[in-house]
Structure 1
Amino acid sequence: MELSANHYEKQYGDKMTDYQLGNLKENIKVEHLNGAYEVFARNNELNELYGIRHKDKPHSYKAPFESLLNRVLNNKDLSVKYAQVDPNDPKKEIFITDEEQSNLAKQKAEELKEAFKDWIYKDYARRTHLEQIYNDTFNNLVLKTYDGSQLELEGFNQYISLRPHQKNAIFRTIQDRSVCLDHQVGAGKTLCAIASCMEQKRMGLVNKTLIAVPNHLTKQWGDEFYKAYPNANVLVVDSKDTTEKERELLFNQIANNNYDAVIIAHTHLELLSNPRGIIEELKEEELVNAEKNFERQELAYKNNPRETKKPNERAFKNKLDKIRAQYDAILEKQGSHIDISQMGIDNLIVDEAHLFKNLAFETSMEKIAGLSNQQGSNRARDLYLKTRYLHQNDKKIMFLTGTPIANSLSEMYHLQRYLTPDVLKERGLEFFDDWAKTYGEVVNDFELDTSAQSYKMVNRFSKFSDVQGLSTMYRAFADIVSNDDILKHNPHFVPKVYGDKPINVVVKRSEEVAQFIGVALENGKYNEGSIIDRMQKCEGKKSQKGQDNILSCTTDARKVALDYRLIDPNAKVEKEFSKSYAMAKNIYENYLETHATKGTQLGFIGLSTPKTHSQKVSLEAPDNAHELENKNPLDEAQELLESLSSYDENGNLIAPSKKELENELKEKEAKGVNLDEELAKGCKFDVYSDVLRHLVQMGIPQNEIAFIHDAKTEEQKQDLFKRVNRGGVRVLLGSPAKMGVGTNVQERLVAMHELDCPWRPDELLQMEGRGIRQGNILHQNDPENFGMKIYRYATEKTYDSRMWQIIETKSKGIEQFRNAHKLGLNELEDFNMGSSNASEMKAEATGNPLIIEEVKLRAEIKSEEAKYKAFNKEHYFNEESLKNNASKLDYLKQELK
Structure 2
Amino acid sequence: MRVFNGSHLTLPASSQQVALHAHQKNAVWRIVQSDNTLLAHVVGAGKTYTMVAAGIELKRLGLATKPMFVVPNHMLAQFSSELLTLYPTANILVAGKDDFEASRRARLFSRIATGTWDAVIVTHSSFEKIPVSLNTRRDFIARQIDEIETAIREERADRGTRLVKELERVKKRLSAKLEGLSAEQKKDNTLTFEELGIDRLFIDEAHKFKNLFYVTKMTRVAGLPQTASERAFDLFLKVQHIQERNKGAGVVFATGTPISNTMAEMFTMQRYLQMNTLRRNSLQHFDSWAGTFGEAVTSMELSPDGSGYRLQSRFARFVNVPELMQQYRQVADVQTAEMLKLPVPKLDQGRPITVSAPSTPELKRFVDQLVKRTEKIKSGRVDPRDDNMLKITTEGRKAALDMRLVLPHVRDNPDSKTNYAVEKIHQIWLDSASTKGAQLVFCDLSTPQPGSRWFSVYDDVRAKLIARDIPANEIAFMQDATDDASKASLFHSVREGKVRVLLGSTAKMGEGTNVQKRLVALHHLDAPWRPADIEQREGRIIRQGNQNEYVKIFRYVTEGSFDAYMWQTLETKCRFIAQVMTGDATVRRAEDVDSAALTYAEVKAIASGNPLVIEKATIDAEVMRLTRLKRQHAESLYQMRSPVMRHARWLEFSFSPATRRCAVCFECSVGMYPSSAVGSAKSRSRFAERE
TM-score of the pair, normalised by structure 2: 0.81
Q: 1:214 to 1:474 in 2, by over 3 A?
A: same
Distance across 1 between alignment mates of 2:497 and 2:303: 51
User: Which residue pairs with 1:559 in the alignment?
Assistant: 398
User: Given that residues 300 and 308 in structure 1 are in contact (C-alpha distance below 8 angstroms), is that contact kept between their aligned partners in structure 2?
Assistant: no
User: Which residue pairs with 2:558 in the alignment?
Assistant: 795
User: Which residue pairs with 1:761 in the alignment?
Assistant: 531
User: Which residue pairs with 2:210 in the alignment?
Assistant: 357
How many matched pairs? 608
User: Given that residues 465 and 826 in structure 1 are in contact (C-alpha distance below 8 angstroms), is that contact kept between their aligned partners in structure 2?
Assistant: yes
Distance across 2 between alignment mates of 1:759 and 1:324: 27
Distance across 1 between alignment mates of 2:448 and 2:42: 31
User: Which residue pairs with 2:668 in the alignment?
Assistant: none
User: Which residue pairs with 2:486 in the alignment?
Assistant: 716
Distance across 2 between alignment mates of 1:419 and 1:259: 25
User: Which residue pairs with 1:136 in the alignment?
Assistant: none
Distance across 1 between alignment mates of 2:166 and 2:351: 56
For residue 528 of structure 2, what is the amino acid of its counterpart? P
Which deviates the most, 446-455 or 766-775? 446-455
Distance across 2 between alignment mates of 1:842 and 1:731: 27
Cα deviation, residue 510, structure 1: 2.9
User: Which residue pairs with 2:335 in the alignment?
Assistant: 481
User: Which residue pairs with 1:253 in the alignment?
Assistant: 111
User: Given that residues 711 and 717 in structure 1 are in contact (C-alpha distance below 8 angstroms), is that contact kept between their aligned partners in structure 2?
Assistant: yes
For residue 149 of structure 2, what is the amino acid of its counterpart? E
Of the candidates 703, 721, 735, which is equivalent to residue 473 of structure 2?
703
User: Which residue pairs with 2:347 in the alignment?
Assistant: 497
For residue 426 of structure 2, what is the amino acid of its counterpart? Y
After the TM superposition, which residues 604-619 of structure 1 pair with which residues of structure 2 at under 5 Å, given as runs? 604-612=442-450
User: Given that residues 740 and 770 in structure 1 are in contact (C-alpha distance below 8 angstroms), is that contact kept between their aligned partners in structure 2?
Assistant: yes
Cα deviation, residue 370, structure 1: 2.3
For residue 151 of structure 1, what is the amino acid of its counterpart? L
Kindly indicate whether residue 228 of structure 2 is the aligned counterpart of residue 376 of structure 1. yes
After the TM superposition, which residues 198-347 of structure 1 pair with which residues of structure 2 at under 5 Å, given as runs? 198-240=56-98, 242-301=100-159, 318=172, 321-322=175-176, 325-326=179-180, 334-347=187-200
Q: 1:800 to 1:453 in 2, by over 3 A?
A: closer
Distance across 2 between alignment mates of 1:501 and 1:451: 28
Distance across 2 between alignment mates of 1:514 and 1:277: 58
What SS does structure 1 have at the residue aligned with 2:508? coil
Q: 1:246 to 1:742 in 2, by over 3 A?
A: same
Distance across 1 between alignment mates of 2:200 and 2:444: 36
Of the candidates 414, 418, 435, which is equivalent to residue 580 of structure 1?
418
Of the candidates 503, 515, 524, which is equivalent to residue 733 of structure 1?
503
User: Which residue pairs with 1:589 in the alignment?
Assistant: 427
User: Which residue pairs with 1:426 in the alignment?
Assistant: 280
Q: Which has the larger radius of gyration?
A: 1
Q: Deviations over 1:609-667 (max 9, x none)?
A: 0013xxxxxxxxxxx535xxxxxxxxxxxxxxxxxxxxxxxxxxxxxxxxxxxxxxxxx
Q: 1:155 to 1:447 in 2, by over 3 A?
A: closer
Of the candidates 356, 371, 386, which is equivalent to residue 506 of structure 1?
356
What SS does structure 2 have at the residue aligned with 1:212? strand
Kindly indicate whether residue 154 of structure 2 is the aligned counterpart of residue 391 of structure 1. no
User: Which residue pairs with 1:439 in the alignment?
Assistant: 293
User: Given that residues 604 and 755 in structure 1 are in contact (C-alpha distance below 8 angstroms), is that contact kept between their aligned partners in structure 2?
Assistant: yes
After the TM superposition, which residues 438-457 of structure 1 pair with which residues of structure 2 at under 5 Å, given as runs? 438-444=292-298
Q: 1:317 to 1:417 in 2, by over 3 A?
A: closer
**Which stretches in structure 2 are left out of the alignment for 5+ residues?**
598-603, 621-691
Cα deviation, residue 166, structure 1: 0.8
Distance across 2 between alignment mates of 1:729 and 1:338: 46
Of the candidates 549, 552, 557, which is equivalent to residue 388 of structure 2?
549
User: Which residue pairs with 1:598 in the alignment?
Assistant: 436
User: Given that residues 604 and 753 in structure 1 are in contact (C-alpha distance below 8 angstroms), is that contact kept between their aligned partners in structure 2?
Assistant: yes
User: Given that residues 496 and 788 in structure 1 are in contact (C-alpha distance below 8 angstroms), is that contact kept between their aligned partners in structure 2?
Assistant: yes
Q: Deviations over 1:732-768 (max 9, x none)?
A: 1101111001001011111111111111100000000
What SS does structure 2 have at the residue aligned with 1:539? helix
CA-based RMSD = 3.1
Q: 1:587 to 1:330 in 2, by over 3 A?
A: closer
For residue 288 of structure 2, what is the amino acid of its counterpart? D
User: Given that residues 306 and 561 in structure 2 are in contact (C-alpha distance below 8 angstroms), is that contact kept between their aligned partners in structure 1?
Assistant: no
Q: 1:320 to 1:402 in 2, by over 3 A?
A: closer
**Which stretches in structure 1 are left out of the alignment for 5+ residues?**
1-142, 519-529, 613-623, 627-683, 780-785, 834-839, 857-897
Cα deviation, residue 578, structure 1: 2.7
Identical pairs, percent: 37
Q: Deviations over 1:219-263 (max 9, x none)?
A: 111111111111111111223584323111111111111111111
Cα deviation, residue 396, structure 1: 0.9
Q: 1:846 to 1:341 in 2, by over 3 A?
A: same
Distance across 2 between alignment mates of 1:266 and 1:737: 15
Kindly indicate whether residue 579 of structure 2 is the aligned counterpart of residue 816 of structure 1. yes
Kindly indicate whether residue 544 of structure 2 is the aligned counterpart of residue 774 of structure 1. yes
Q: 1:533 to 1:574 in 2, by over 3 A?
A: same
TM-score of the pair, normalised by structure 1: 0.63
Q: 1:748 to 1:454 in 2, by over 3 A?
A: closer
What SS does structure 1 have at the residue aligned with 2:215? coil
Cα deviation, residue 727, structure 1: 1.0
Cα deviation, residue 408, structure 1: 1.7
Q: 1:698 to 1:456 in 2, by over 3 A?
A: closer
Q: 1:459 to 1:505 in 2, by over 3 A?
A: closer
Kindly indicate whether residue 517 of structure 2 is the aligned counterpart of residue 747 of structure 1. yes
User: Given that residues 471 and 818 in structure 1 are in contact (C-alpha distance below 8 angstroms), is that contact kept between their aligned partners in structure 2?
Assistant: no
What SS does structure 2 have at the residue aligned with 1:747? helix
Distance across 2 between alignment mates of 1:824 and 1:808: 20
Distance across 2 between alignment mates of 1:372 and 1:516: 30
Q: 1:743 to 1:513 in 2, by over 3 A?
A: same
Distance across 2 between alignment mates of 1:165 and 1:412: 23
Distance across 2 between alignment mates of 1:844 and 1:232: 57
Q: Deviations over 1:270-303 (max 9, x none)?
A: 11122444323313312322332343344344xx
Q: 1:787 to 1:315 in 2, by over 3 A?
A: closer
After the TM superposition, which residues 70-85 of structure 1 pair with which residues of structure 2 at under 5 Å, given as runs? none
